[in-house]
Amino acid sequence: MGCVKLVFFILYTFLCQLVFSSALPHLCPEDQAHALLQFKHMFTFNPNASDDCYDTRTLSWSMSTDCCSWDRVLCDETTGQVIELDLYCSGLQGKFYSNSSLFQLSNLKRLDLSRNDFSGSLISPKFGELSSLTHLDLSHSGFTGVIPAEISHLNKLYFLYISTVDPYGLRLGPYNFELLLKNLTQLREIYLDSVNISSIIPLNFSSYLTYLWLRRTQLRGVLPERVFHLSYLSLSSNSLNGPIPSNVSGPQNLQRLYLSSNYLNGTIPSWIFSLPSLSDLYLRNNSFSGKIHEFKSKTLLYVSLKQNQLQGPIPKSLLDQQELYYLILSQNNLSGQIASTVCNLKTLRVLDLGSNHLNGTIPHCLGEMSGLKVLDLNNNRLSGTINTTFNTENQLRIINLYGNKLKGKVPPSLINCRYLEFLDLGNNELNDTFPSWLGGLPYLRILSLRSNKLHGPIKDSRTNNSFAQIRVIDLSSNGFSGKLPVSLFENFQAMKIIGENSGTREYIVDDYSSSYANTLIVTTKGLDLELPRVLTTNIIINLSRNRFEGYLPSIIGDLVGLRSLNLSHNGLEGIIPASLQHLSVLESLDLSSNKIGGEIPQQLVSLTSLEVLNLSHNQFVGCIPQGKQFDTFDNSSYLGNDGLCGFPLSKDCGGDDGVPQATTPVELDDEEEEEGDLISWQAVLMGFGCGLVIGLSIIYIMLSTHYPIWFSRMVVRFDNIIAARMKRHKKRY
């Protein structure tokens, strides 16, 4: 019997469809088709209208077909009226006016205009006339100004999504947010991201509401118990204060809770830990204190409790989750050890426990966590060796163990982290030679080994492509000795390009980067500072506070992308190679506390980006170059160089006919004789004598006309000659 019924049913629906589609070829009223086309023609089509998506389907709309068959249009089956219009990501660009023909589609129930570019358009009060609307999505489309009160007439709305690109570019009108919510009695979901609501959280809203997204909306006041009965709550980046209510009665459906970046305090109440289906818990950047209790469910996906004052151990239940992706507990006062059960989190992508008081050793199994991309245990009290073997399956891109008490060697198995981009082992007690084999990591961009007990010479590693992607290398405050590693510099291919001048692009961008920031301590411009995120503009070499000797190799001049070069507190000698003039984006140059001598090359005035220059405590002589940036440096740049004269020092160089001390011609050895003609150029370039106006003007012309390559090569050759000569000179005396 059942079977016969089924066959009959299929036959029936088939016949119905046949009758419908043949008998009613023009289901769509012509005026509605016209309205749709007219609407579309008000805009240009730009695939870039929204950053991340576009869809060309509206381009196929044409009067030659029934508008009910058009892509992204849905008609009522019986009346033929257009009831749904889904223009999400349609590449529409232009102003959205109140006279838009869209408002003729008075039967619309669902309207999605999100992710287009209506920049500068106001939200028309006429939206309030589309009284059948149950879904309205105006998010990420560039609407600005006041959200008109007429929106609150849409009392059939289930879903209301409005947001702006510029924070607070939209605001709620003079009518009260509370009244809006009160009128929309059917509301299930409301999303008002970055809209300036500027009020307290309303207490009276639709009993159907499950989703309340009011991130960055200038809300203030304390959290009412009422909101915790929703399933999805985002009130991040507001000015809420006080505690989370300690008791919430009734059913608890909360799955996703986002309260980051407020001024909430008190303990995290125990009912939060008992929520049966909690998946996302973001409470970062508040003032929560007390312990993290044991979670009762195993449903967690994302947990970020960063930047609070939480104490006590990491609860065991957090390490016993089945699908946890992010575990971010950094910048708290957590103590105790990291249990090796953390390795049971098979789905974990980000483990960030930095800046706590954790002690004990690093779990041996960490290197076997195959999905992990970020391992950040920086600034804790971890001790022992880095006793883990990173296996070849690992996906790690960031390893940060900075600021612990780790001993022993740099673990050789790091070579298996073939996706590694960021490695910070700084400020530990590692005792090893330079791990030149790290150069084999093809994506390594940032390497910090500063403040350890690393020692010995940095051996030549002529391997091709070794460290080719490196942008930041910090080996400072160790015991490295021998010559500066010329072959290493040669390999820094990524530093040989002048990248972006400014910008906020990060080196390491991934789906997890919004939750996790790869901070890095760097010394630049004379200060230790923490970069909250390492940007593509950070190109840094820091080899300071070691025992390097010998000369500054000319090849440094090839690293034209450098922003900061610090070779201070070593035993370097010789002169500053003129090739450094090519470092046109260099902002900070610190060569202090070495034994570098000779004159400061006049060419360095071409370093117009230079903000900080420290040449103090060396053996420089002669006149300080004058002009451009050099007019901005004060005495401190030159302290402890008795042979220097000229501005800003009080010691005068002696005016136009003054003969600076270091100009005594050096004898040419046989092998250098043929270079004799170049010497005169060098003399000109070095601006022999502060008052030598001609010399300066030649340099000026050279610099302003972009001197040819042969010329710069010549200068480079010269550095070597001078360096060789200085060496001999030194030996003689």
Coil, helix or strand at residue 535: strand
- Give the shortest CB-387-to-ligand NAG separation in angstroms: 4
Residue 405 in the binding site for ligand NAG (CB under 6 A)? no
Residue from 241, 299, 481, 619 touching ligand NAG (CB under 6 A): that is 241
Residue 413 in the binding site for ligand NAG (CB under 6 A)? no
Residue 104 in the binding site for ligand NAG (CB under 6 A)? no
Distance CA(220)–CA(286), nearest Å, equals 14
Residue 149 in the binding site for ligand NAG (CB under 6 A)? yes
- Give the shortest CB-241-to-ligand NAG separation in angstroms: 4
> What are 419's two structure tokens?
């996706």
Residue from 206, 387, 436, 463 touching ligand NAG (CB under 6 A): that is 387
* Beta carbons within 8 Å of 404's beta carbon, 6+ residues apart: 377, 378, 379, 380, 381, 382, 383, 427, 428
- Give the shortest CB-109-to-ligand NAG separation in angstroms: 16
Q: Are 298 and 322 in contact (CB under 8 A)?
A: yes
- Give the shortest CB-638-to-ligand NAG separation in angstroms: 34
Subset of residues 156 to 215 that bind ligand NAG, contact rule: CB under 6 A: 168, 171, 175, 179, 182-183, 196, 198, 203-204
Nearest to 590 by CA among 649, 522, 680: 522
Residue 78 in the binding site for ligand NAG (CB under 6 A)? no
Q: Within 10 Å of residue 701's Cβ, how many Cβ atoms?
A: 10
Residue 359 in the binding site for ligand NAG (CB under 6 A)? yes
Tell me the HSE value of 515 on the side-chain side, using a 13 A CA sphere.
26
Residue 297 in the binding site for ligand NAG (CB under 6 A)? no
How many residues bind ligand NAG (CB under 6 A)? The answer is 44
Burial class (CB in 10 A: 0-12, 13-18, 19+), 619: middle
Give me the long-range contacts of 692-697 (CB less than 8 A, separation at least 24): 695/602, 696/602, 696/626, 696/627
Residue 90 in the binding site for ligand NAG (CB under 6 A)? no
Distance CA(373)–CA(325), nearest Å, equals 10
Residue from 316, 453, 459, 713 touching ligand NAG (CB under 6 A): that is 453
Distance CA(171)–CA(123), nearest Å, equals 11
Subset of residues 242 to 281 that bind ligand NAG, contact rule: CB under 6 A: 242, 246-247, 249, 261-262, 265-266
Residue 364 in the binding site for ligand NAG (CB under 6 A)? yes
Residue 389 in the binding site for ligand NAG (CB under 6 A)? no
Interhelix angle 676-685/709-732, rounded to 10 degrees, is 100
DSSP lists the bridge partners of residue 332 as none
Nearer to ligand NAG (CB atom), residue 92 or residue 540 = 92
Q: What type of residue sits at position 365?
A: C
- Binding characters for ligand NAG, 613-652, by CB under 6 A (x = yes): ----------------------------------------
Where does this chain touch ligand NAG (CB under 6 A) — which range of 356-364, 500-508, 648-656, 710-718?
Answer: 356-364
Q: For 110-212, where are the alpha helices, taking DSSP H only?
A: 177-183
Coil, helix or strand at residue 488: helix
Nearest to 83 by CA among 34, 36, 37: 36
Q: Are 394 and 372 in contact (CB under 8 A)?
A: yes
Subset of residues 327 to 346 that bind ligand NAG, contact rule: CB under 6 A: 333, 335
Binding residues (CB under 6 A) for ligand NAG: these are 46-48, 97, 99, 149, 152-153, 155, 168, 171, 175, 179, 182-183, 196, 198, 203-204, 218, 237, 241-242, 246-247, 249, 261-262, 265-266, 285, 289, 309, 311, 333, 335, 359-360, 364, 384-385, 387, 431, 453
